[in-house]
Structure 1
Amino acid sequence: MKKLASLLLAFICLQATAQLSLGAFSLSDQGSWNSLSDERLEELSLDFLLVKDMPDSALLVDRLLTSRLEQRNPMTFLQRRMLSLSLNRMAYLYSFSFFDYKHAIESLHEADTICNDPDVRPFIDLNIGHIYSLYTQCYPTPTNVQTVRHFYKKAFIESAQMGNYTNMISAFVNFWNLGFDDANIKAFSHETALFRQIKVPALEPYYDYASAVLRAIDLVKVKKYTAAAAELQSKMMRNPSSTMDVRIACSTAWSLACIYKLAQMPDSVYKYASVLEYYGRKKDLQDLRFDAAILLHYYYLSTGNKQKADACYQTFLEFRKSFFDGLDLEADRGEFLVPKADDLRLASPPKQAEAGFTNQQILLMILGGLALLVLGGYLMRRYLYHKNAHLRLKSEQPASLTPKPEPAPIKSSLEENEKDLLQAKIKKVLADEQEICQEDFSIDRLAKLCEATPKDVSQVINERMGCSFVLLLSEYRIKEACRRLDDEENFGRLTLEAIGRSVGFKARESFSRAFKRVTGVSPSVYQRRLTEK
C-alpha cells in the first residue's frame, strides 16, 4: 500500500474563504499547520467539505492529518479511529470530487485494514458500496450487482445496530439508487421491513426523504408508478446551490428516472436525465454526466433515434474508460470481502487423525470442528461487541446522567389516558431549562416532578418518544444549547465548552458527540454557520 506519509504536504494560512493549493506551499509555512491539533485538522476538513464546499482544501487537510497520524508508532485506539475516518473521507473526495478511483480504492484499502472500531466500519462499507455501485453501472454483471448489495446491506445493518441513523438512512437511500425493480425489492426485503420497525428520531436529517422512498417502494410494488414518482418529487430540492445539495437533488432525479423507466415513460426519463446533464456540466461532476448518458441512451433507443443513442453510448464508454481503465476491481473485491482479523480467528490446523478413521470421517470431523469454531467465535464476538458498546456509551455520558442504570422496560400498568397525561408532564418538565441544565438532573428527579415512578416515566419515554431517558435529555439539552448559541446578546461571550457546561454537560467530548448526533454537525461548525449568516 502506497504510504501517504511520503507526499510533500502543504498547509498554509486557513482563511475562511481561502482556497488552499499545494503550489502555494513553502517550508516556512510548516509552523502554521504543525501548531494545530489532530482534532482541529479533522474539524477543518469537515468544514471545508460540508460548509465551505472546498473539496481541494478538504483533501489537503486530510492528507496532512493522515501523514501525521501514520508517523505515530504505536497509535492509540482513538488515533487509529481518526486515521481510518480521515482515509475514508479522502476516498469520498477522490470518488465524488476528483473521480480518481485508483486513489479512492487505495485509501479505502488502508482504512479497511487500519479500522479497529466497529462504530467506524459502516462508514467504510458505505463508501465501498458507492464505488462498486458506479462500477456496476459500467459493468452490470450479476456478481457486481451482488457486491453492491452486500456492502449497502452490511452498512445498513451495522448502522442500525449501533443507532447511527444518519448512516443507516444513507445506506437505505443509496441501495434504492440501484433501481426499484422486483429483484432489488426482493434482495432488500429484510432491511426494508427492519427500517419500518426502527423508531428514527424526528430530527434525523433526511428521514422524511427516506420515508418518501419507502412509500414509493410500496406504490411501485402495485405498479402505481405515477403516484410513486409523486412521493419523490415532493421531496426534491429546488435550485440546489452547494455541491452536496446538487448531489442530493440529482440522486432524487435518478430515482425518478428509474421509476419512469419501469413505467415505460421515456419522455419523463428524458426530463430527469436533462437535470443530471445540466448539473453535471454546471458543477463539473463527471459521474452525473455519466448517469445522464445512460438515461439518454435509453430515451433515444425508445424513441427510435439510433444515431443519438449511439452517441450517448459512446459517451458512456468514454466515461467508463476514464473512471476504471487499468483498475482491477475484481481483485480488490476479493480483498474487501475477506473477513477481518476481528471478525473471525481460526485456530491452528487440526492434528493428523489416527489411522483408524476413514478419509470421509476425517473430513466430517474437520468440517464439524470448524463449524463449531466459527459459531463460537461469532457468538463470542457479538457478546463482546454489545458489552463493549454498552461500556463505551456509559463512559461517554456525563456522570450526572448515569447515577444508576435505568430499569429494563417493563409493561406499564398505566392506562392510555394516564400515559397521555404523564407524557405531557414529561414534556413540560423537560421544557424547563432551569431544571434540565442542572448537572445532577436524573430520571428520579424527572419522576418526582411528574409525580410518578421512575419505572412509569421510563416506560412512557420508551413507548411514546421512541428513545431512552438519556437520549431524550440530551436532545432537550442540545436544543437549549442551540438557542444559547443563537442568542449572541446574552451568550455571545461564552466559549463552546462553557455553553456545553451551562446546559448540563460536564465534558466537552460528550457535549460534542451529543450535539453532532442531534444536529448532524459539530458545535464549531454550527457556530460558524451562524456567523456566516
Structure 2
Amino acid sequence: MKKTACNIFLYDKNYIFVSKIRLNHMIVSSNKLRILLLCLFIVLPYWFYSINETKYGLIYNYYKDFDVDSLAEVGDSYYKKNSLDSALVCFSIVSGKYNDEASVEMSKLCAHSFNRCGVIYLKYNSYEKALSMFLRALEICEQKNYQTYIPKIYNNIAHVYYLYKDYATAESYCEKAYELGVKNQDEEIQNIVLKNLIGLNCYLKGYEKAQQHLKLLNKQHSNNNPTFDYYLCISNGAISLKQNKYSEALDYFLRSVQYADSCENPNQLKYSSLSNISKAYSYMNKMDSAIYYLEQGENIVSSHLYMDLLADCYNDFSEIYRQLNDKPKYLSYKEKYLNIADSIFNIQGFGHIKDMQFLHEMDKVEKQIYHLNDVQMMKDHQIKLQQQILFTVVGAFIVILLLLLMLYRQNKRLKESNDELFNKNLEILKSDDIQKKIRQQVQIEHEKQAEPDDSVENKVKYQGSFIGEEEKRNLQEAIQNVMDNTLEYCSVEFNLDRMATLVNSRTKYVSQVINECYGKNFNAFINEYRIKEACRKLIDIENYGGYTIAAIAESVGFKSNANFNLIFKKVTGFTPSVYQNMAKKRQNTPPDSLD
C-alpha cells in the first residue's frame, strides 16, 4: 500500500513538473487551459486512489472463496515476487479464518499467515501492526504447541524492538530464538539469529559475546564463508574503535565492504560498513572522508527506501556538521532525521508495543492458570501460600521489633555517650577559664614586682641564633599572654608572623617554643584556641543562638566552613551543629534533671 502511495506521489510530482514546462511555453495560452490543468491536478490523486482501492477489492473478491492451503501458497508466491499488497490480502484472508477449534494444520497456516502479515507491515514501517501480527502468531503456536515455528516469530519480534533501538529486549528475544533453534536442530534459524545477535552485541558493546557468537556461526559454515568474514571484520572493527585504535578499526571496516556484496542483504550490510568507516574517520577528525563514505551509504539506503537506516544516516550527517560548526547543514540534516523518525518511530507507538507485549504475557499466565484441572491442588497451594505469607509477616514483624529494640538501646547508649562527652567538653572549657584567670592574677603580681625594663616584652628581645631556657620561658609567657588576654587569634589574617610581631620575636623561635612547650605546631595550637572560643559561642545561646555555624566559624578565624567542621569534630568529638543542638537542649532542660 505504501509503495503504491509512493508511486502516486512520484507520479504527481512529475506531472506538476511537466505541467510547469508546458505553462512556461504556453504563457500566452487561454485561461481555459489553465483551469483544465488545475482540475486535472486536483482530480488525479483521487483517481489513482480509487484505482488502488478497486485493485484491493478485486483481489479480495477473487480469493476470498479459495481454500486456505491454496490461498497460503498464492500468498507465498506473491511474497517471493515482492508483490506485497497482493500477498497481504491473501494472508489476511487466511489468518481471518482462524478459531480456537481449528485443526493443527489450519492453525499452522494461520500462524504462518499472521507472521507473514507482520513481516509485510514491517516493510511498510507499520511497527505496531507488525507486532500485533507476530504476537497473534505466537499465541497460536503456543496454544497448539507448534515449537518449530516459534523461533522465527521471536526473531521477528526482536526486529521490531531493534527498530525502536531497544537493543536489550531485542537481544533477549534473539537469545530465545537461538535456544529454540538449537533445540529444534534448525540450522537455518540458528544462522539468521546468530547474525542478528552479533549486530546487537556490537550495539550493546558486548564484544566478548559477539566473538562467541562468531565462533558459533563459523561452526555452521565451511571455509571461505563471506558472511562470517563480514561479521568478523565488523566485530573486530567495533572492538578496535572502542580501544581508540582508529586506523586498525578503519582497516577492518574497509575489508568488510568487500565481503558485503557476497552476503544476503548486501545493500544493508554495505551501508553498515560505510557508516562505520565514516564513524572511524570522524574519530580521526578526517571529516571530508567521513562525509564521503556517509554519502555513499546515503545513496544506497535512499535508493532502496530503507527508511530506518536513512534516518540513522541523516542523524550521523547532522553530528558531523555539528562538529564542523556548519549550522545550516546541521539543521538541514537534523530536520530530515526528525521528519523520518517522527513518521516511523513515535514514542506513543513504542509505548503501545510495550503494552501489547505485557498483555500478551499476562494472557499466557491467565490461560495457564485456567487450564489447571485439579481444583483441590489449587486450594492446597493457596493455603500453603497463605501460611507462608503469615509466617513471613510474623517473622518480619519479630525481626523489625528486634531491630527497633536494638536501635533504641543503641540510641540510648549513644545519647549517654554524647552527654558524657559534652560534659567533658564543658569541664575542659571551665578548667581553661580557671587557669586563664590564675595566669592573669600571677602576671599582674609579677608585673608589680618587676623592674620597668624587666617586662616580658623586653625579655623576649634577642637576636642570636640560639635560644636559651630563660628566653624560652619568657617567650612562652609572652605567647600565653597574647592567647589569654587578646582575641588576635580570632582574626582570619592571624598567622605566625603576626604572633612573632605581638611577642616581639622571630617566627622560628615562636614556632620552636610552641612545638617544644605545647607539643604541637602553630596551626594546631591556634586552631585549638579557636575551637574553644567557638564552643563558648555555641553554648552561649542567649548571645549567639541566632548565628549560623558559618558565621561563628568566620568569627573565630576560619576561612573555610568545611575546614572548621573537620577540626571542630577532631577536637570535641562532635560536629558544630550537633554541639549547638545539645547546648540548646541543655538550656531548655530544667536544672533538676541535669543531676
TM-score by length of 1: 0.52
2:148 counterpart SS class: coil
Cα distance per residue 1:395-435 (max 9 Å; x no partner): xxxxxxxxxxxxxxxxxxxxxxxxxxxxxxxxxxxxxxxxx
Counterparts of 2:147 and 2:279 in 1: how far apart (Å)?
Answer: 34
* Separation in 1, partners of 2:283, 2:148: 37
| Corresponding residue SS for 2:205 | helix
- 2:316 alignment partner in structure 1: 295
Q: Distance in 2 between matches of 1:21 and 1:110?
A: 28
Q: Which amino acid aligns with 2:342?
A: K
**Cα distance, 1:229 vs. partner?**
0.8
Aligned pair partner of 2:351 in 330, 334, 341: 330
Q: Can you list the C-alpha shifts for 1:336-380, whole angstroms capped at 9, x where unaligned?
A: 3637749995674521329994526699xxxxxxxxxxxxxxxxx
Summarize deviations over 1:293-341 as a string: whole Å, max 9, x none: 1221222223332321222222222222212447342353254363774
> In the alignment, which residue of structure 2 is the partner of 1:193?
212
Answer yes or no: is 1:163 the counterpart of 2:171: no
Tell me if the contact between 2:254 and 2:273 (Cα under 8 Å) persists in the aligned partners: no
Question: Among 40, 49, 62, which residue is 2:91 paired with?
Answer: 62
> 1:33-72 counterparts in 2 under 5 A?
34-35=65-66, 37-50=67-80, 52-67=81-96, 69-70=97-98, 72=99
- Unpaired segments ≥5 residues, structure 1: 1-19, 137-143, 364-533
Question: Do 1:87 and 1:108's aligned partners in 2 also have CA atoms closer than 8 Å?
Answer: yes
Does the residue aligned with 1:274 lie in a helix, a strand or coil?
helix
Q: Residue in 2 aligned with 1:108?
A: 134
| Aligned-partner residue type, residue 308 of structure 2 | D
Asked if 1:236 corresponds to 2:263, the answer is: no
Give, in angstroms, the shift of residue 109 of structure 1.
2.8
- Give the secondary structure class of the aligned counterpart of 2:202: coil
CA distance in 1, matches of 2:111, 2:187: 20
Distance in 2 (alpha carbons) for counterparts of 1:162 and 1:354: 40
1:24 paired residue among 55, 63, 79: 55
Query: Among residues 379, 386, 393, which one is paired with 1:359 in the alignment?
Result: 393
Query: Which residue matches 1:209?
Result: 227
Distance in 1 of aligned mates of 2:55 and 2:238: 53
For residue 115 of structure 1, give the secondary structure of its aligned residue in structure 2.
helix
Distance 1:229 1:308, change over 3 A: same
Aligned 8 A contact 2:59 2:89 in 1 = no
The 1:158–1:300 alpha-carbon spacing in structure 2 relative to 1, beyond 3 Å, is farther
Aligned with residue 330 of structure 2, among 309, 313, 319: 309
Partner of 1:82: 109
Aligned to 1:127: 156
Q: Distance in 2 between matches of 1:355 and 1:24?
A: 63
> Hey, what does 2:118 align to over in structure 1?
91
Aligned residues of 2:260 and 2:266 also touching (Cα < 8 A): no
Aligned residue for 1:61, secondary structure, equals: helix
C-alpha spacing 1:39/1:247, structure 2 compared with 1 (3 Å): farther
Alignment deviations for residues 111-161 of structure 1 (CA, whole Å, 9 cap, x no partner)? 23222322222212222222222212xxxxxxx332222223333333233
Evaluate the alpha carbon distance shift between residue 314 and residue 83 of structure 1 in structure 2; reply closer, same or farther with a 3 A threshold.
same
Please give the alpha-carbon distance, in whole angstroms, between the structure 1 residues aligned to 2:270 and 2:73.
Answer: 26
Instruction: State the match for 1:514 in structure 2.
Output: none
Tell me, yes or no, if structure 1 residue 184 matches structure 2 residue 182: no
Q: Does structure 1 retain, via aligned residues, the 8 Å contact 2:233–2:256?
A: no
Change (3 A) 1:253 1:45: farther
CA distance in 2, matches of 1:191, 1:267: 31
Relative distance call for 1:147 and 1:48 in structure 2 (3 A) is same
Please report how far the alpha carbon of residue 60 of structure 1 lies from its aligned counterpart in structure 2 after TM superposition: 2.2
Distance change (3 Å), C-alpha of 1:230 and 1:286: closer
In 2, Cα distance between equivalents of 1:235 and 1:155: 26
Farther-moved stretch of structure 1 (343-352 vs 98-107): 343-352
**Does structure 2 conserve the Cα–Cα contact (< 8 Å) formed by 1:159 and 1:168?**
yes
C-alpha separation between the residues in 2 aligned to 1:167 and 1:263?
38
**Is the Cα–Cα contact under 8 Å of residues 293 and 315 in structure 1 kept in the other structure?**
yes
Unaligned runs of 5+ in 2: 1-50, 373-377, 398-595
Change (3 A) 1:80 1:184: farther
User: C-alpha distance in 2, partners of 1:45/1:217?
Assistant: 37
1:253–1:125 distance in 2 versus 1, CA, 3 Å: farther
**2:559 paired residue number:** none
Larger CA Rg, structure 1 vs 2: 2
Q: In the TM superposition, what is the alpha-carbon distance from 1:225 to its structure 2 partner?
A: 0.4
Residues 201 and 169 of structure 1, relative CA distance in 2, 3 Å threshold: closer
The equivalences for 1:474-513 within 5 A come to: none
Q: CA deviation at 1:191?
A: 6.5
- Pick from 161, 173, 194: which aligns with 1:172? 194
CA distance in 2, matches of 1:158, 1:287: 29
Secondary structure in structure 1 of the residue aligned to 2:348: coil
> Does the 8 Å CA contact 1:126/1:152 hold for their aligned counterparts?
yes
User: Once the two structures are superposed, what CA deviation does each residue of 1:214-235 show, in whole Å capped at 9, x if it has no partner?
Assistant: 3442354344202321331111
Number of residue pairs aligned between Structure 1 and Structure 2: 325
Counterpart Cα distance in 2 of 1:124 and 1:93: 13
Aligned match of 2:441: none
Q: 1:202 to 1:265 in 2, by over 3 A?
A: same
Contact persistence 1:276–1:288 (CA under 8 A): no
SS at match of 2:90: helix
- Choose the corresponding residue for 2:342, options 311, 316, 321: 321
Residue 262 to residue 83, structure 1, CA distance change in 2 (3 Å): farther
Question: Greater share of helix residues, 1 or 2?
Answer: 2
Q: TM-score, normalised by structure 2?
A: 0.47
